Structure 1
């Protein structure tokens, strides 16, 4: 087989990272093998190490991409152009919705990758990238009130989302989302 162009190699790498970003949020970093990832990306298993030194290196890059994508989606939330307060309300409503709960692959990386990061399965570089993403998310959730760093709102939202996903087939799931929405919007 011939060599691929530099542009095609960049496209292949982007496809691997984007696919990993979604699969890791949906199935966890340990739940996705390199072979399964490459198959999902439409590439051969052997090509992985032409792009990455290790799976851990990919986890770090995919974590950064997940947070970047999440921020882009947040900025594009309907109502985002209606002033800061309306934009925040629209974001909270979208975040604490059944649709977001059910979209693990495309959902919040803070919730989707939390268990992997807590277990240390992702490696120290990815944990650092994850912590930076959490800090940025908290800053965006801060209000103008003195001393509010956004951490309580972030923790309430992420915790509710994780719990709602865990009991998604039970009415408790929707109750958790509604309770968190009421708390965060106070």
Structure 2
């Protein structure tokens, strides 16, 4: 790859990472091309050298944001060697995750958009759901009961995080996280 091709690839990757952070924090409708390009240190006019359209960028950013969560989930599970599921629950339902949507799990912020999105967006979302279910099932066994428990756990993690971010009362927000954490750990 020539120097200009390497620079172009690096610029494209920078825009994509910024857009992934923005879609996690703001959803898929808010990030504007001009702002993304400016934050990446590029001109608005250079956008089409990297992406076919805004929709193309947002779809790729959403897929990137979704995929980035896998490593974080696996790391969280490894933090508690005695009970990997508890480590994952603690990290996911922690205040840091709640308060950092730009770097948090994209399943929380992109669920509604994926539900309204096209096939590619839905497929990227589904791929991440399946990855998380496999991870959670792998923390137990391969039975149907473990799969059902993984679905319940993932739904509780995503739902509690979403609601804790959405409510205005900080005490209720904390209570949601703490209560769901306690209930999931008792299972």
If the length of structure 1 is used for normalisation, what is the TM-score? 0.88
Matches within 5 A, 1:15-30: 15-30=14-29
User: Which consecutive unaligned segments of at least 5 residues does structure 2 have?
Assistant: none
Aligned-residue offset at 1:151? 1.1
The Cα shift of 1:169 comes to 4.1
Contact 1:34-1:48 within 8 A present in 2 as well = yes
Q: Which residue of 2 aligns with 1:50?
A: 49
1:97 match: 94
Aligned to 1:135: 130
Matched, 1:32 2:31: yes
Structure 1 stretch displaced more, 165-174 or 141-150: 141-150
What is the DSSP-based 3-state SS (H/G/I as helix, E as strand, rest coil) of the residue aligned with 1:144?
Answer: coil
- Within a 5 Å distance, the mapping from 1:28-177 to structure 2 comes to 28-77=27-76, 80=78, 83=81, 86-120=83-117, 123-142=118-137, 143-144=140-141, 146-147=143-144, 148-149=146-147, 150-167=150-167, 169-177=169-177
Distance in 1, Cα, partners of 2:29 & 2:65: 17
Higher mean displacement: 132-141 or 96-105: 132-141
**Deviations along 1:80-120, whole A, 9 cap, x unmatched?**
1653x533211210100111000000000100211222233
- Measured in 2, the distance between the counterparts of 1:146 and 1:76 equals 24
Q: Which runs of 5+ in 1 are unaligned?
A: none
Tell me, in whole angstroms, the C-alpha distance in 1 between the residues paired with 2:47 and 2:17: 14
| CA displacement at 1:170 relative to structure 2 | 2.5
Contact 1:101-1:165 at 8 Å conserved across structures:
yes
Q: Is the CA contact (8 Å cut-off) linking 2:37 and 2:44 kept in structure 1?
A: yes
Q: How many residues align?
A: 180
Aligned residues of 2:66 and 2:124 also touching (Cα < 8 A): no
Higher helix share: 2
Where 1:52 maps in the other structure, the secondary structure is: coil
